[in-house]
Amino acid sequence: MKKHCEHQGDCMQLIQRIIDKEATAEEEQLFLNKKEQCLPCQEGYQLEQSLKKAIKEKCRSKCPDELFKSIKAKLFILLAIISILIPLFCDQNK
């Protein structure tokens, strides 16, 4: 088993894409077959899986409805102000 991965940066990016379900089935299968030969890839894969699982478990709380409504109202006001100010600061003759 390899103790050093010469493509560690690329492998970590692929691992993240696999964990996030963004890799193709072919990419995933090719990596899973190769990771058994490479200790850094095995450890990186296990770490990313553990992190994703921990984040998913900790982020189950829902934003309170009142807070959501307050944020939404403030964003609406901000967008309205921006839409009014843009024409004032942009030269429309260009």
Same domain, 45 and 67: no
Same domain, 38 and 70: no
Same domain, 35 and 51: yes
Does this model's pTM top 0.75?
no
State pLDDT tens for residues 55-85: 888 777 778 899 989 999 999 999 988 888 8
Q: Give the type of residue at 66.
A: E
C-alpha to C-alpha distance for 78 and 85, rounded to whole angstroms: 11
3-state secondary structure (DSSP) of residue 90 = coil
Max CA pair span of the chain: 67
- Phi and psi angles of residue 2, each rounded to the nearest 5 degrees, phi first: -75, 140
Ramachandran region, residue 21 (left: φ > 0; alpha: ψ -120 to 50; beta: rest): left
Same domain, 51 and 79: no
C-alpha to C-alpha distance for 26 and 17, rounded to whole angstroms: 12
State pLDDT tens for residues 7-31: 888 888 999 999 999 999 999 998 8
